[in-house]
Chains A and B, each alone.
Chain A
Amino acid sequence: MEFTPPEINLLIVAPVLIIMAAGSLGMVIDLFMPDGKKGWAVWLAAIGLLLALAQNIALWNGNYETFIPQNGVAMVVMDNFAIFLNATFLLTGLLVIPLSRSYLQRTGLEKPEYYMLLLFSISGMMLMGMANDLILVFLALEVLSIPLYIMCGMLWPRPESEESAMKYFLLGAFSSAIFVFGIALVYGATTTTAIPLIFDAVAANGLNAMIVTGLAFLMVGAGFKVAAVPFHMWTPDVYEGAPTPVTAFMSVGAKIAGFAALLRVLMLALPQASGEWVTAVAVLSTLTLIIGNVVAIRQGNIKRMLAYSSIAHAGYILIAVAAAADNPSAGVSSALFYMFAYLFTNLGAFGMVIALERNYGEGNLLDDFKGLAKRHPWLSLAMAYFMLSLTGIPPTGGFSAKFYVFGAAIEAELYWLVLIGVITSVISGYYYLRVVYLMYMFDGEGQLITGRALQFAVFVMAISTLVLGLFPEGLFNLTAEATLSATRLLAGG
């Protein structure tokens, strides 16, 4: 047995490397730039993201593997599943940048670090999508989380921002510890951390108490990241306190990354335990749907409302995960579809919240939406459309997504879960449509601060949501291919 050091093909991981390099480059440039000049960072970040996206797309259908250590199982896989997720993360980054710009200038936050941390966090998310080894999953989790902790606290003299960062950090560290413990237990039981080998070990020796306990801890860790009830408690506090563009980024990027981890663990490492985890996921999903949607009604602060709404949407994606137990292809692809559609809708809604926030924490109340339709007819229309999409009313991306998820769940015979999903969707209409109601039916002083970049981004997201509502087929095919490549990996092909 000859030792071969890890085999590495840098082109395959180039998307991540580009992002990391752009981030590091930015930090170096920052050292030599006078304090007054800050504009370059945006462009550096945007170019980095675009380059990475291009390289990422070029790898489609390649099914590459790399970082192959001595056990012969690649630590990094670049299958369509990973590429799809990477594209999601990169798009999130590309959309968050135009949303952030004017807000950062307003709040005096415009520092190159912001964009660099954004890039580092995205690189962690991408690693999460590509990870084929639990160790790498954990590392990716940390790489994506730590910059987020910092970003939450970037408005540091404001106690709310510091509180947000501190809470996120402490609870995040705690959940990470639980996650590591889970990895250790799985490793102890199977003597490997490589996801395909875990699968093989379970296939050969069956499940035992250690593996399922490890699974429980892994689910806690991932559940924290996706903000599933009862691991959601941090969400409203952190979302409210963090600078709003960071909240927007977190509500999409971190959530999707958490689901990437969850899907890798549940679907690729331990599908044989699906009989066990499907019930747990379904219960979590039920709790998440009910608590998220019901509590959202009470919120008077739009950021807190969207925090609960993001919890609720985690519940819908969990339905897809539960469906994946019985029906892997439909379950996983509907989850991917949902996350992609959610990305545009939710970021779009946050775009409006950002535009409405005059100073940090001012203009965050639902009442501030009163009368916006008169002054900003087009943006209000977009916001109304995003709200409809979040509720799941056709023709919106949100509807298509919910449709696929419920369809997958019905095929997996999770009828009661679908029922809860439907009922909670109805409930969600109550608070989403209230925003529309406030914008159109009242007179108010609300004023948006919109730059051209923000308007453009919101416009792009509204169009994307519409396209996903009218012609979901293209995306559907992509998610199906992405799922196929991941499951092929599972089959050892």
Chain B
Amino acid sequence: MTQTTLLLAPLITLLLGTAVGFVFAHPTLNARLPITRQVWLLALFPLIAFIILLLPVSALNDGQIFLWRVEWLPPFGLQLGLYYDSWSALFALIITFIGVLIVIYAGQYFNGQQDAWRFQVYTLLFMTSMLGLVMAGDVLTLFIFWEGTSITSYLLIAYKYKDPEARAGAFRSLFITGGGGIALLAGLLFVSYVSGSTQWTDILSSGDRLRSSEFYTVMLALVAFGAFAKSAQFPAHIWLPGAMSAPTPASAYLHSATMVKAGIYLMARLNPALGFTSQWFFLLTVVGMATMLCGAYLGLKQKDLKGLLAYSTIAQLGILMLLIGQEDEESYKALVIGIVAHALYKSALFMVAGIIDHETGTRDITRLGGLRRAMPVSFAIALLAGLSMAGLPPMFGFLAKETLLAATLHPNLQPVLAAVSVFTGALMLAQAGLFVIDTFLGQPRDPTVHAHEAPQPMLLSPAIPAALSLIIVLLPGPKEESAFLAAAAAAAFGSKVKVSLALFHGLNAPLLLSIIAITLGSVIWYFRWPLRAWQDRLGAAFTFNRLYAGVLVAMDKGGYVATRLQQGKLRTYLVIMILAAVSLVFFFMGWPTYSLAGLTWPGLDFPGEMALLRFFSLLVVTGSALATLVLNRDFYAILAMSAMGLGTAVWFVLEPAPDVALVQIVVDILSLVILVLTLAKLPRAQRLKAQRMRWAERPSRPLLLRDAIASIAIGCVVALITLTALTSRPRLSQVTPYYIANAKEETGAADIVGAIIVDFRAMDTLIEITVFSLAGLGVFTLLNYAARTHGDHAQGEKKVRRTFSTLGIGGRRASPFLRAPAYALLPVALVLGIVQMMFGHDQPGDGFTAGVVIGLAVALWYVVFGYTETRARLPWLRASVLIAVGVLLAIVNGIIVTLFTDHFLGNMDYGELVGLPLPGGFHISSSFLFEIAICLAVLGSATHMLNALGHPGEEEEGTA
């Protein structure tokens, strides 16, 4: 058999078993072959896997390692792989062996239940993941299977999902073990990063590099956290008792022999790479000791048989973790013996607990007793396994305890270790006593409990491991088994370990300690009832469920606090955004390189004859800015804001930048109009409420203060930046001279702004007008869909029905003095706009301003004549059409030019082409058409906004 088949066959066999398990989901098949029979078929699969895994044992004993690898992500150097040495084999064999027994046992346990196939499928899936975990050859494969066991064990624990306790227990175990898995991945990624490979083969051989790495502590902490969570180490042990709500076959499998050992497997596997440091020693020793004591102590007070077993498992896991931390031969010998002994006796005891539960209906120790008469076989099994758990000769468990004590007596170690071990051993003996003596011997405590012996196949499964606990040590001579265990220990330890399975080594210190432990344990057992009562009085101080609950509550609280910030108020959001932006700026400026110190500050000199004007406009700007703050009525504040914009425009004119000034002016006025129109639409009550919010009123003070701080902060930042920008920017633009030099000859434009817009960066402009049109559409939609029915589409019928019903602002008909100029202004604006477009290339002004100017005249109409009248009198004013024509014209124009000049949006003079006689300075050029397109699009968008704002609205419809 090649390496590949040898490694893949067990996993594939188990997956096949899962598939077969699925087949029984079919109702007729399920009915034909009851679950008790199904299991004989299903048990074949783990059995085959077990046999395949057993085949290469002699090669493994010689130290051979079986490898299989497949490329997964070559660019990252990632592979998926399997790795099978004697350390893996130890676990793989336990997993498949106990797996066979559990599958058979579960058939009896779920006898008569229709959907028990689910359990079998979950179990086989879990088995596959667990086997994959111990056979994984690299970090990723390990992680995938690791999380696989978390998820499948969740499914098993929550098998009785209608039971809220089962759900809570399952969730807790998934949360802790699955979460630990992610920490583990992070830790292992560190390990791979330092060792340069994700393969065990490479990682295990780069121990020196790992130990000397600066990340050693981090990776150790992360890996250990993952392993501790999985192996129920203190204080993450809390999930294990909760997981006892699982069906007993699952507990017997997961919580004795397999899943909880995953952490043990991993830590020992990594021992050659990460071990042999003082951190490793202290971490594992301290956590192991704490876990031992905690499990042994809490186990004694349990009423539930399974709870008792769960805590004794925790204690045993603590022992194993402690042993991994002790870096000597003795400890690793004790480790392998402890693993096997525990797997055997604990799975047997769990299965017996399941039998008791199954046959009597309760697992409560205080109600059980005297079961030996009704259940003699179960009693025999429990006795064997219990003796092993108690560490009494001639059981395997005795040997495990002996070797443990021998390991803790190592001269380099503190005597406290031995003391703790003895104490734990004593407590475990007392627990075993509770399990065996108090349930099977004595008199029945509760007469309502009736017991029967379990069916034979159900007894078979626990009988085998219980018997093995005895047989292993009684078999004579130096054996294959001890060689195998020695090889496994050596693989984990990193150098040779001698293992002998002889029970007695003469009278020595471990034996003495053992006798002390047995005596002490007997005493504890004798005083068990008063002790338990005392434990109960001591109370819940020792349950670490509180820690877990505390973490969850803290997360919940944190979420609550952060949710409080999310009040849904825009101003809060804005304040947070502004403050964040300001801090980001300060964060960047905080870098010493860019401190403001090196920059020159602009002086306040006003050169030239325009000095007075400049100064005046500055006054206007600052004055009106202040006024916006002080003025209470929103309407005045808006006017002041507009004045501010106009003052800025004056500054632009003086700069001199007439194009910019023109745009500034028209945009300023347009926004003024829009704001005023919007104000008119707001409910009066809201406006008054907002206006009443002033500094003098106490309740609004903190809010205003906050807003003021945010405004001042962003204002200062922007002012600071602008000031420095003025002085520190390169004085000469790279592009301006180019534009100045080339504008006239290339594009026929004397006004470079015009040339830039329609020629140099025509593409930008094209997209810009699209954006602008979209914005118009957006406002239109946002403000009111209703405008649609009032606007373009339904116009025809409305016009006939009610012509001039809605009046101008305020609901009154405007005076003739206002109406006359409004009439006159629109044609003037149209002419102005057309002229601007005609000569836009050489003079300030362009299509954009033209569009806005016309839009303003239209806005005046809206104000003076009201919505309905305006729309009736200006039938050509259809927003969507204007936009569409504008954008299309721009594109068509661009394409036509392309035909002539090979350049999309190039420049060409159609007038010249046709030979039209035109006034000087005016060209029917592509630029001119483009200007018209811009103008139309802008006008269309403005109309959209005005329509949306100016239309009467639904409330008024009835009254009008």
Contacts and interface: CB of A to CB of B under 8 A. Distances in A.
Contacts of A174: 574, 577
Interface string B500-536: 0000000000000000000000000000000000000
A150 B781 contact: yes
B782 A441 contact: no
Nearest to A171: B573
Interface in B572-615: 572-574, 576-577, 579-581, 584-585, 587-589, 591, 593-596, 599
A426 B759 contact: no
B239 interface: no
B781 A171 contact: no
B182 A425 contact: yes
Chain A contact surface mostly = helix
A434 B455 CA distance: 40
A216 B587 contact: yes
B540 interface: no
B559 interface: yes
B190 interface: yes
A154 B189 CA distance: 47
Contacts of B222: 422
Given A149-B778, A298-B559, A233 B589 contact: no
A236 B568 CA distance: 9
A294 interface: yes
Contacts of B161: 440-441
B30 interface: no
B360 interface: no
Given A5-B906, A6-B904, A146-B775, A219 B584 contact: yes
Interface in A361-405: 392-395, 404
Given A3-B746, A212-B594, A473-B74, A70 B147 contact: no
B178 interface: yes
Chain B contact surface mostly = helix
B767 A143 contact: yes
A150 B778 contact: yes
A169 B775 CA distance: 10
B905 A234 contact: no
Interface in A175-223: 175, 178, 181, 185, 188-189, 191-192, 207-210, 212-213, 215-217, 219-220
A404 B558 CA distance: 29
Nearest to B784: A156
Nearest to B141: A394
A89 interface: no
B869 to A, nearest CB: 27
Given A296-B559, A410-B193, A280 B771 contact: no
B75 A210 contact: no
B735 A143 contact: no
Given A394-B143, A437-B167, A441-B158, A216 B585 contact: yes
Contacts of B767: 127, 136, 139, 143
Interface residues of B, number: 100
A220 B584 CA distance: 8
A135 B566 CA distance: 33
B820 interface: no
Contacts of B75: 473, 476-477, 480
A181 B581 CA distance: 12
Interface residues of A, number: 103
A410 B192 CA distance: 11
A7 interface: yes
B702 to A, nearest CB: 19
A147 B568 CA distance: 23
A294 B144 contact: no
B905 A5 contact: yes
A259 interface: no
Contact of A67 (B185, B734, B763): B763
A170 B678 CA distance: 15
A263 B261 CA distance: 46
Given A5-B906, A166-B782, A394-B144, A188 B570 contact: no
Nearest to A138: B771
B186 interface: yes
A1 B742 contact: yes
A473 B560 CA distance: 41
15 contacts: A3-B746, A5-B906, A71-B735, A75-B763, A149-B778, A156-B784, A165-B781, A171-B573, A297-B555, A298-B556, A393-B147, A394-B140, A437-B171, A472-B73, A473-B74
Given A189-B725, A237-B566, 20 more contacts: A5-B907, A8-B763, A70-B738, A127-B767, A147-B778, A167-B570, A189-B729, A207-B593, A213-B721, A215-B588, A230-B579, A233-B565, A233-B573, A297-B555, A297-B559, A394-B140, A406-B186, A426-B179, A429-B182, A473-B75
